[in-house]
């Protein structure tokens, strides 16, 4: 009986938590790279795929952007969004932290609700 109650409780928690995680970044949009950034072309391609719901393809482009310009706050932020959409919340947190650190002057990053939720701010 206790096992059945525990399973029911876990199922209920999963049912409630899953939509909340999926909706966490519902309105968040990827950010463009500054003109002339080494990450610019990869971010532009990633944004295009992100807008179409191609999370894995967007994630590849944003990952390439981050490799091209590891100091790009926008590349880390956009990669975090795609990771979140793909369900990899642990990696998303790492990239949101990096974006926050690198993008101190970027108010879109600093005021991002999804970033704040992931970083529990």
Q: CA 17 to CA 31: how far, in whole Å?
A: 27
**More confident: 21 or 35:** 35
- For residue 69, give the DSSP letter: -
- In this prediction, residue 11 carries a pLDDT of 46
Q: What is the pLDDT of residues 71-91, one digit of tens each?
A: 999 999 999 999 999 999 999
Long-range contacts at 63-71 (CB < 8 A, ≥ 24 apart): 65/33, 65/39, 66/39, 66/95, 68/38, 68/39, 68/42, 69/33, 69/37, 69/38, 69/39, 71/102
Residues 25-54 have pLDDT tens digits of: 567 899 999 899 999 999 999 999 999 999
Q: Evaluate if residue 12 carries a pLDDT over 50.
A: no
**For the chain, which residues make up each domain, given as ranges?**
2-118
Per the model's pLDDT, the better-predicted residue between 1 and 62 turns out to be 62
Name the band, by pLDDT with cuts 50, 70 and 90, for residue 2: low
**Residue 98: what pLDDT?**
98
- What gap in Å lies between CA 4 and CA 101, rounded to an integer? 45
CATH number, domain 2-118, options 3.65.10.10, 1.25.40.10, 1.10.357.10, 2.30.40.10: 1.25.40.10
């Amino acid at each position: 009986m206790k096992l059945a109650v525990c399973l029911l409780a876990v199922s209920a928690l999963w049912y409630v938590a899953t939509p909340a995680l999926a909706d966490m970044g519902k309105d968040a949009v990827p950010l463009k790279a500054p003109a002339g950034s080494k990450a610019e072309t990869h971010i532009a391609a990633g944004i295009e795929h992100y807008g179409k719901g191609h999370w894995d393809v967007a994630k590849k482009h944003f990952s390439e952007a981050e490799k091209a310009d590891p100091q790009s706050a926008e590349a880390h932020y956009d990669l975090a969004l795609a990771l979140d959409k793909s369900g990899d919340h642990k990696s998303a947190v790492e990239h949101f932290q990096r974006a926050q650190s690198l993008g101190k002057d970027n108010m879109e990053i600093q005021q991002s609700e999804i970033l704040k939720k992931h970083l529990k701010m």
